[in-house]
Amino acid sequence: MPQSGQGTREIKVLDVARNPLDQGARNLLLNCAGCQPGHSVLIVYETEDDGYYDPELRGELERVAGHLGLITQSHGVPIAHYVTDPDAVLAAKMAAADCTIFLARMGDQIRFRPRDAALNQIISYALDRDMLASPFGTVDYRAFDDLKYLINDAIAVAQDIHVTCPAGTDFRGGPVYFESHGSDVTRKRFPVSVFAPVPAASFSGKVAQRGFLTGTGSNYYTPWSCAVEDTLVVNFDSNRITGFEGSDSDVAAAQAHYESVGTRYGLDTYFVHSWHAGIHPGCASKAPAGAHMERWSGSAFGNPRLLHFHTCGDYPPGEISLNVLDPTIRLDGVAVWEQGILHPERIKGGAALLTAHPDMAAVFADPATDVGQAACGNLRYGA
């Protein structure tokens, strides 16, 4: 806080009604981070521009933070291809700051790790100015944080959970026992876009894949994705992939990809850890997934049209993601997700939450439909 005798700083009031980008930045800094005038904010950004994060996003956050009376400092990091905790210099800066905001994949990579979890850290999944200025960034962070816990509670009490999709996904299980440790991230997500990962132990069935298998944003390796030419069916029972079905070429490609990644990191190759789906209908991915697979994997998952599994490794998020387009998720027979549309009013407390937050209700009434699908309507490998 400012020292005695320094006087007071005039804080300019931003006209957020006219500038949704400022509204999104305020939502991040105030509603999510809980910053107050005089607080220090450390922004961790990537020094390499490969099209993942908008390089102008940092400057916009610094600008709005200044208007709010916050003290900002930036720290550049390279793109980390392997999961690693922050080095000593960055760790010291994080410990000294009231809040750390990651505009870097490092934040996503350490999201399940316990080290320094007590610090106020936020991973921004609003990757550019357009996303921050869209309903994904501007709808009150706290509304979706509340929704996440309502969904967690609804899943925890359900005795039967049944998931299907138009491509042929069909798996079932329950009841769910959330893990006491490692069941959710140790850093804040902004915006809140998924519920806690559901352990796969009580589920079995099949997951239909179209377009590709791809990474989870944990480690980055080559090749990070492999093409699926037709429909690949991944059969699983509890925490184990039991086999693949589909064309000979798709089955061979899937097996080779899993074996390659599992061998590279010494993993339990066919382990199925958990799954969850998007809860934020303001989350949009307008570019086809194949145009930048890493960026798609790190952002589009927040839309309710997508559900994904964490596989290849007995830890979250694993190394290979299975992605389901337009899931229907029934909790004790009630379709809370229905072909990719989330209905919060169908769970306890959901209708009241929508009433309390008209901005949230508005985005559910007019959800984003672009989730990286190709012109054919399916996910595809390649631009």
Question: What's the pTM value of the predicted model, to 2 decimals?
Answer: 0.92
3-state secondary structure of 186: coil
- Which pLDDT band holds residue 83 (cuts at 50, 70, 90)? confident
- Which pLDDT band holds residue 81 (cuts at 50, 70, 90)? confident
3-state secondary structure of 188: strand
Could you report the per-residue pLDDT of 203-245, keeping only the tens digit for each? 999 999 999 999 999 999 999 999 999 999 999 999 999 999 9
Token representation of residue 79: 């793109």
What's the whole-number mean pLDDT along residues 9-19?
A: 51
- Which pLDDT band holds residue 180 (cuts at 50, 70, 90)? low
The yes-or-no verdict on residue 183 having pLDDT over 70 is: no
For residue 373, which of 309, 314, 307, 286 has the smallest C-alpha distance?
A: 286
Q: In sequence order, what DSSP letters do the residues of 6-32 get, joined into one string? A: S--PPPPPP-TTT-HHHHHHHIIIIII
Could you report the per-residue pLDDT of 294-353, keeping only the tens digit for each? 999 999 999 999 999 999 999 889 999 999 999 999 999 999 999 999 999 999 999 999
Contacts with 201 (C-beta within 8 Å, 6 or more apart), sequence order: 177, 238, 239
Which pLDDT score is estimated for 269?
Answer: 98
Cα–Cα dist 325/227, whole Å: 16
The yes-or-no verdict on residue 108 having pLDDT over 90 is: no
Q: In sequence order, what DSSP letters do the residues of 27-81 get, joined into one string? A: IIIIIIT---TT-EEEEEEESS-SSSS-TTHHHHHHHHHHHTT-EEEEEEEPPPS
Which pLDDT score is estimated for 80?
Answer: 83
Alpha-carbon distance values, 45 to 62, 134, 367 (Å): 12, 21, 30
Dmax over Cα atoms in the chain, in whole Å?
Answer: 76
Q: Which domains does the chain have, with CATH numbers?
A: 20-133 (3.40.50.980), 141-178+187-365 (no CATH)
What's the whole-number mean pLDDT along residues 20-49?
A: 97
Residue given tokens 């760790």 in the structure block: 91
Which pLDDT score is estimated for 117?
Answer: 64
The mean pLDDT of the chain is: 92
Which pLDDT score is estimated for 119?
Answer: 77
Could you report the per-residue pLDDT of 261-292, keeping only the tens digit for each? 999 999 999 999 999 999 999 999 999 999 99
Cα–Cα dist 216/265, whole Å: 14
- Which pLDDT band holds residue 134 (cuts at 50, 70, 90)? very high
Cα–Cα dist 332/349, whole Å: 17
Token representation of residue 185: 């991230």
Which pLDDT score is estimated for 114?
Answer: 65
Number of residues assigned to the chain? 383
Contacts with 222 (C-beta within 8 Å, 6 or more apart), sequence order: none
- Which pLDDT band holds residue 62 (cuts at 50, 70, 90)? very high
Which pLDDT score is estimated for 11?
Answer: 40
- Which pLDDT band holds residue 383 (cuts at 50, 70, 90)? low
The yes-or-no verdict on residue 13 having pLDDT over 90 is: no
Which pLDDT score is estimated for 2?
Answer: 35
Could you report the per-residue pLDDT of 248-259, keeping only the tens digit for each? 999 999 999 999
